[in-house]
Structure formats: C-alpha cells, structure tokens
C-alpha cells in the first residue's frame, strides 16, 4: 500500500490497479470538461506505442495508457509466459514522453494546449476477470465478446482464440475507462477492423482512431516480439515487408488482379527462401509463410480483383524458425534464438492510389 502511494507521488501520472479509483478519476475529468484518449497496450513499449500516445495527446486533454498482458488472447501453445514484461522501462518511457509533450507546448506558446499522460491502468487478472479465471480454451467458460466472421480470418485462422481475447479485453477496458477516443496501430490491421466493427455493432460511445505503422529505418515494423529475433533472423525478417512492397508496387503500376498483385509478393518470399536454403545451417534462416492476403478493407474477404474505388488490405504473416547452429558469441536475441517468431505486417492499398 505504502509503495503504491509512493509510485503515485513519484510520477507525473497516476497508476491505477483497480476499477473504482479509476472510475472516480474519470468522473472528475468529465466534470472538468476534459477529454480522455485511451491507448491499450501489453507493455514492452516502443516507438509504435509512443506514436499512438502522441496522437492521443494531440486530440485529448488526458491520455490513459493501459498496460496489461491479456491471457485470453494467447493460445495454449503461445508465448504468454515469455512475453516481455518491462514495467520499469515502460514507466520511464512514459515519463520521458510527458516531458517531451511539456517541452513541445512551451516551445509553441500560444498554441492550443496539448494533453498529457495522466493515468496508467495496470490491472491484475483478478480485476480484469473477476468471476471465472481467464481461459485460452476455445470451448472454455467465461464472458466473451466474439466478432465473427472477421475473427476467424487471417490471423484468426491460425490463432482461434486471439480475437475473442482482444475483443473481450478491449470491451472491458472501454467500459472501465469510457474514453472519448481509443487509439490502435495499423500494424495490427485486423485488430483495427475488428475493434471498429465491435464499437459500431455494440454502440460503444467512443471514436476509434488508427495510427500509422512505425518502422525501423530499414522498414521492419516495430514489435515487442522483435527482441526475440537476434541479428540473423532480424535481417531475413525484412522479407515480409519487401514482399508486401513488391505487391504494392504491382498495384501502383495498374495491376488489379489477385494473381498479379500476390504473385509479386510470393516471388520475393520464394526467392529469399531459396537463397537461405542454399546456405549452411550455421548461416541460414528458414521460415514459413503463413499467409499473404489481399482482402476487402471492411469484410476482410479475399479478393480476386481489387476495386480501385474501394482499395484493399495487403497483409501477411511469416513464421521464422529457431536459429540453427548458433556460432559462439552470436547475437541470437532474447531466448537464445530457440523461440520461433511470428512476424506480421500489412500495407493498405489506398482507393486514391
Ligand atoms: P501491443 O502492446 O503489441 O498489444 O500493441 C498495442 C498497440 O500498439 C496496438 O494498437 C498495436 O497495433 C500498436 N502497435 C504495435 N506496434 C506498432 C507499430 N510498429 N506501429 C504502430 N502501432 C503499433
């Protein structure tokens, strides 16, 4: 209790672990005519998360960042126990971001005031799942939100409980915080489509805003899971982005058929895999393409032809296999290269392109 109090005094934001105090905070903000932007995260914060928080601080007086590794969205064989948890570094990054927001405001005096991170919601699983313990069993009991058929496509095909978990935890977070706006990253495009559908179908009184994918300088989409890659897989992992770019180039050059657009992507993934297979195990990186998809932006139905007035979502997932024969001293990433890493990425084929 005492340390909880200390945490609150040490930071420029309040840290909430339970619902009633956060509701009181929210009620006060409403009375003061302040607006709340919620950025849901699982922690292990990087520039992708921070860019969403910056956007939320532009649009709202108060930003609430939730940090919660939600068990119900991990399949039984997925990486729940090893998912990176970096609380101290996360809090530090949020402090630095608040300093940055204050500095930006004083530099632009006379501009309308910008928001700040004023609360972190870091609940326990008992708070988030107050009745039955959280389950990853597709047939398990509990109170769940399901958005079908969207949740069964693409990522959902190989991760059957994933979007049930995401939709359920986001409903809980939206009910707890009642934010004016919620912020999600384009990096997880299917999540964005599902959350938009959920907010529409359940008449949830919030606005869904999507921030662009933040990438490393070579184009790799930032992800909390990239720390598992290590240098060897990090380099080859760029294949997915390169494949999607090749498909985007085909569309931009006037191609609209599935075979022309996805053919360009598949050539890249095939060529890189052949190059890797020709190398000795101590140098190569093997991977499997889970899917490369060309889908309708709202229904996520696969398209044979892109209607240029509607555009499309190009997305893909690649499973990078564990590193073989690591050399001594090789940078194999967190988990010593033994953890398979699933990379996802996407590009939106804009109707105006
Ligand atoms: P996560 O902590 O991975 O659940 O992500 C929390 C939020 O950050 C989600 O809305 C993600 O889509 C978003 N996000 C993750 N990586 C990126 C990125 N590279 N660029 C933009 N947003 C991202």
* DSSP per residue, 137-192: -TT--S-----TTGGGSTHHHH-TTHHHHHHHHHHHHHHHH--SEEEEEGGGHHHH
Q: How much is the pLDDT for 324?
A: 97
Q: How does the average pLDDT of the chain come out, rounded?
A: 94
Give the dihedral sign, CA 295/299/305/309: negative
Instruction: Tell me the pLDDT tens digit for each residue of 114-136.
Output: 899 999 999 999 999 999 999 99
Find the mean pLDDT for residues 239-261. 98
Q: How much is the pLDDT for 212?
A: 98
264 SS3 class:
helix
- Looking at 3.40.50.280, 3.40.50.300, 3.30.565.10, 3.30.1300.10, the CATH number of the domain 224-349 comes to 3.30.1300.10
- In this structure, what token pair is assigned to residue 173? 């977070």
Q: How much is the pLDDT for 1?
A: 40
Taking the centre of ligand 1 as the mean of its atom positions, its distance from the CA of residue 185, in whole angstroms, is 5
Which among 273, 295, 308, 307 is positioned nearest to 346, based on CA atoms?
Answer: 295
Which positions are annotated as active-site residues? 49
Q: Quick check: CB of 64 below 6 Å from ligand 1?
A: no
> Structurally, what CATH architecture does the domain formed by 14-211 represent?
3-Layer(aba) Sandwich (3.40)
Q: Quick check: CB of 211 below 6 Å from ligand 1?
A: yes
Q: pTM of the full predicted structure?
A: 0.95
Find the mean pLDDT for residues 324-344. 95
Distance CA 198, CA 182 (A): 13
Instruction: Tell me the pLDDT tens digit for each residue of 63-88.
Output: 999 999 999 999 988 889 889 999 99
Q: How much is the pLDDT for 168?
A: 98
Is the Cβ–Cβ distance between 75 and 66 less than 8 Å? Answer: no
- The percentage of the chain sitting over the pLDDT mark of 70, rounded to a whole number, equals 95
Distance CA 157, CA 154 (A): 5
Domains of the chain, by residue range, sit at: 14-211, 224-349
> Over 50: is that where the pLDDT of 13 sits?
yes
Give, for ligand 1, the residue of 38, 49, 223 to mutate: max count of ligand atoms closer than 8 Å to Cβ.
49
Q: How much is the pLDDT for 104?
A: 83
Q: How much is the pLDDT for 4?
A: 43
Residue 333: CA count within 13 A, CB half-sphere = 20
Comparing 343 with 2, the larger pLDDT belongs to: 343
Q: Quick check: CB of 57 below 6 Å from ligand 1?
A: no
> Over 70: is that where the pLDDT of 304 sits?
yes
Q: Quick check: CB of 213 below 6 Å from ligand 1?
A: yes
- Say which residues have a Cβ less than 8 Å from residue 225's Cβ, sequence separation at least 6: 79, 84, 341, 342, 343
Comparing 353 with 274, the larger pLDDT belongs to: 274
Taking the centre of ligand 1 as the mean of its atom positions, its distance from the CA of residue 259, in whole angstroms, is 30
- Banded pLDDT at 2 (limits 50, 70, 90): very low
What are the contacts of 160-163 at 24+ separation with CB within 8 A? Answer: 160/75, 161/72, 161/73, 161/74, 161/75, 161/136, 161/137, 162/73, 162/74, 162/75, 163/73, 163/190, 163/191, 163/194
Q: Quick check: CB of 345 below 6 Å from ligand 1?
A: no
Q: How much is the pLDDT for 284?
A: 98
> Over 80: is that where the pLDDT of 353 sits?
no
Distances (CA, A) of 156 to 18, 136, 138, 234, 240: 31, 14, 12, 25, 19
DSSP secondary structure string for all residues of 227-240? GGTHHHHHHHTTHH
- Say which residues have a Cβ less than 8 Å from residue 168's Cβ, sequence separation at least 6: 72, 142, 143, 144, 145
- Say which residues have a Cβ less than 8 Å from residue 242's Cβ, sequence separation at least 6: 219, 268, 272
- 224-349 matches 14-211 in CATH topology: no
Distances (CA, A) of 173 to 31, 144, 165, 294: 21, 13, 12, 31
Atom of ligand 1 nearest to the CA of 214: 20
- The percentage of the chain sitting over the pLDDT mark of 90, rounded to a whole number, equals 90
> Over 50: is that where the pLDDT of 272 sits?
yes
- Banded pLDDT at 107 (limits 50, 70, 90): confident
Distance CA 53, CA 97 (A): 9
Is the Cβ–Cβ distance between 344 and 186 less than 8 Å? Answer: no
């Amino acid at each position: 209790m005492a340390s909880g109090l200390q945490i609150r005094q040490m930071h420029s934001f309040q840290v909430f672990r339970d619902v009633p105090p956060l509701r009181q905070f929210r009620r006060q903000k409403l009375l003061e005519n302040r607006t709340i932007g919620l950025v849901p995260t699982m922690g292990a914060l990087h520039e992708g998360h921070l860019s969403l928080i910056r956007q939320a601080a532009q649009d709202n007086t108060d930003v609430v960042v939730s940090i919660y590794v939600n068990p119900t969205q991990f399949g039984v064989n997925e990486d729940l126990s090893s998912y990176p948890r970096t609380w101290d570094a996360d809090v530090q990054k949020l402090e630095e971001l608040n300093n940055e927001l204050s500095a930006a405001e004083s530099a632009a005096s006379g501009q309308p005031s910008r928001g700040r991170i004023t609360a972190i919601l870091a609940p326990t699983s008992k708070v988030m799942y107050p009745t039955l313990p959280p389950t990853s069993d597709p047939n398990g009991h509990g109170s769940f939100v399901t958005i079908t058929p969207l949740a069964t496509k693409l990522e959902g095909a190989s991760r059957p409980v994933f979007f049930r978990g995401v939709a359920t935890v986001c409903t809980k977070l939206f009910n707890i915080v009642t934010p004016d706006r919620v912020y999600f990253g384009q990096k997880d495009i299917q999540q964005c489509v599902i959350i938009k559908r959920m907010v529409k179908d359940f008449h949830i009184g919030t606005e869904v805003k999507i921030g662009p994918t933040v990438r490393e300088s070579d184009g790799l989409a930032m992800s909390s899971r990239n720390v598992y890659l290590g240098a060897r897989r990090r380099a080859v992992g760029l294949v997915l982005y390169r494949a999607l770019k090749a498909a985007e180039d085909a569309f931009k050059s006037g191609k609209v058929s599935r075979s022309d657009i996805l053919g360009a992507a598949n050539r890249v993934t095939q060529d890189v895999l052949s190059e890797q297979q020709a190398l000795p195990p101590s140098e190569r990186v093997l991977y499997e393409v889970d899917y490369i998809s060309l889908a309708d932006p709202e229904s996520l139905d696969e398209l044979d032809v892109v209607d240029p007035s509607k555009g499309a979502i190009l997305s893909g997932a690649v499973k990078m296999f564990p590193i073989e024969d690591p050399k001594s001293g090789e940078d194999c990433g967190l988990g010593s290269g033994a953890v398979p890493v699933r990379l996802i990425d996407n590009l939106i084929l804009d109707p105006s392109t």
